[in-house]
């Protein structure tokens, strides 16, 4: 079913070319779009009789009427002012144009529905290939799934922005399965590297940020070469956004292949995580450390365990930093100046952040 806005834009354009007023009516007589407000009263019995008849065109009350079919059923009636040959020709052209739009939008809907079910694993293997063939979607083509998280309260529709960026029908698909994310199933070349795939994500982010004037996050799964594996790429992209939210909230481009240790922690059972933190911190939690201690630890890790550089970055004396590190060792039993203990504490902080996130979101 075409929207009223599409119908109105279509007949406005046709009127600009033909200089004839056009009206589009539903089969029950309701006016959907019109270029002349005087044509909004087309609700007479003659119209109902025309819809019920076998005729495809008819001249009534000084106007020409034309049916627009969908699967053999009259979906719309086009009304052209005048009953001369010129109005008949314009009516046939309008009806044909709307018929083509119906077919195109129906095909787009079918493809969108197929992609949604494919992403959500709602299709049997045999159905995937048979339906893809009917919809003329290639199977053995390299694809990657991008997941876009954007502010849906903006006046700009991010879905339409992305569709305008990737207008290739039958190759790239833009859809939504919930109110959180926009999904792009993008066809890529065999020669496209990981860097080029990430660059495409940056282009999406930059375009949406410029249009919406808001923060945008884009994640991607791993490339797949078979339609049945597209859902795996989608799940990976979704996990990448979740992992970003927990461990790297400042990042706007997230590649599943570069999640590192965060991906491992995200998949650990919660009881195991709690047990690990309890063993390392001897019953304490990271929340018990004051802001000064946490900022010291964070900078020490950023400076690759270099005491002199950390002290310089924190604008403190070297001995002050050594004192703080000694205090942390007394609290936790871990000497962050040694590589093994530093790794242990870094992992403990990440696991603690994961536990905090799950508790906050009621997992």
Query: How high is the pLDDT of residue 131?
Result: 87
Instruction: Evaluate the CA torsion angle 247, 290, 317, 323 in order and state its sign.
Output: negative
CATH 3.30.450.40 positions along the chain are 4-98
Between 74 and 276, whose confidence is greater?
276
Query: How high is the pLDDT of residue 299?
Result: 93
CATH 1.10.10.2840 positions along the chain are 269-360
Query: How high is the pLDDT of residue 52?
Result: 81
Average pLDDT over residues 90-96: 90
Give 190's DSSP letter.
T
Specify the range with the lowest mean pLDDT, choosing from 40-49, 82-91, 338-347. Answer: 40-49
Distances (CA, A) of 70 to 15, 75, 350: 24, 6, 57
Q: Name the class of domain 125-263.
A: alpha beta
Q: Which CATH architecture best describes the domain 269-360? A: Orthogonal Bundle (1.10)
Nearest CA to 204 out of 232, 184, 221, 190 is that of: 184
Average pLDDT over residues 55-59: 86
Q: Please report how the helices 318-332 and 291-302 are oriented relative to each other, as an axis angle in degrees rounded to 10.
A: 110
What is the Cα–Cα distance from 65 to 78, expressed in whole angstroms?
6
What is the Cα–Cα distance from 148 to 214, expressed in whole angstroms?
13
Phi, psi of 253 (to 5 degrees): -120, 120
Average pLDDT over residues 221-245: 94
Query: How high is the pLDDT of residue 40?
Result: 60
Query: How high is the pLDDT of residue 1?
Result: 63
Nearest CA to 236 out of 254, 218, 222 is that of: 222
Residues 6+ apart with CB under 8 A from 176: 159, 182, 183
Phi, psi of 52 (to 5 degrees): -75, -15
pLDDT tens for each residue of 170-180: 689 999 888 78
Q: How confident is the model at residue 325 (pLDDT cuts 50, 70, 90)?
A: very high
Average pLDDT over residues 63-86: 85
- The three-class DSSP label of residue 298 is helix
Q: Model's pTM, two decimal places?
A: 0.71
CATH 3.30.70.270 positions along the chain are 125-263
User: Over pLDDT 70: what percentage of the chain?
Assistant: 95
Between 285 and 324, whose confidence is greater?
324
What is the Cα–Cα distance from 6 to 24, expressed in whole angstroms?
11
Domain at 4-98, CATH homologous superfamily: GAF domain (3.30.450.40)
Average pLDDT over residues 76-92: 87
**Residue 3 in this model has a pLDDT that exceeds 60:** yes
Instruction: Evaluate the CA torsion angle 239, 352, 345, 318 in order and state its sign.
Output: positive
Nearest CA to 188 out of 130, 236, 115, 138 is that of: 138
Query: How high is the pLDDT of residue 152?
Result: 63
Query: How high is the pLDDT of residue 56?
Result: 87
pLDDT tens for each residue of 27-40: 777 888 888 876 66
**Residue 43 in this model has a pLDDT that exceeds 60:** no
């Amino acid at each position: 079913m075409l929207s009223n806005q599409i119908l109105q834009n279509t007949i406005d354009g046709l009127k600009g070319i033909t200089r004839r007023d056009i009206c589009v009516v539903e089969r029950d007589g309701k006016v959907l779009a019109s270029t002349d407000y005087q044509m909004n009263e087309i609700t007479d019995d003659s119209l109902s009789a025309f819809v019920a008849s076998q005729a495809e065109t008819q001249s009534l009350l000084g106007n020409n009427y034309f049916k627009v079919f969908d699967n053999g059923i009259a979906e719309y009636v086009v009304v052209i002012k005048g009953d001369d040959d010129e109005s008949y020709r314009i009516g046939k052209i309008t009806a044909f144009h709307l018929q083509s739009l119906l077919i195109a939008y129906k095909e787009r809907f079918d493809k969108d529905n197929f992609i949604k079910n494919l992403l959500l694993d709602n299709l049997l293997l045999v159905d995937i290939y048979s339906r893809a063939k009917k919809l003329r979607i290639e199977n053995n083509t390299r694809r990657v799934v991008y997941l876009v998280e954007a502010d849906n309260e903006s006046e700009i529709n991010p879905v339409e922005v992305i569709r305008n960026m990737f207008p290739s029908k039958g190759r790239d698909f833009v859809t939504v399965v919930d109110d959180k994310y926009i999904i792009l199933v993008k066809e890529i070349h065999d020669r496209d590297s990981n860097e080029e795939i990430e660059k495409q994500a940056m282009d999406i982010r930059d375009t949406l940020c410029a249009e919406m004037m808001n923060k945008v996050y884009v994640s991607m799964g791993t490339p797949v070469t078979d339609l049945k594996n597209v859902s795996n790429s989608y799940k990976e992209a979704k996990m990448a956004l979740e992992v970003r939210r927990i461990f790297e909230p400042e990042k706007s481009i997230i590649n599943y292949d570069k999640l590192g240790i965060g991906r491992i922690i995200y998949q650990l059972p919660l009881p195991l995580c709690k047990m690990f933190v309890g063993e390392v911190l001897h019953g304490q939690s990271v929340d018990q450390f004051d802001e000064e201690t946490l900022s010291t630890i964070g900078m020490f890790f950023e400076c690759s365990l270099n005491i002199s550089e950390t002290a310089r970055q924190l604008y403190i004396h070297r001995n002050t930093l050594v004192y703080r590190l000694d205090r942390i060792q007394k609290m936790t039993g871990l000497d962050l100046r040694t590589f093994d203990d530093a790794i242990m504490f870094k992992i403990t902080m990440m696991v603690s952040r994961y536990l905090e996130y799950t508790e906050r979101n009621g997992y």
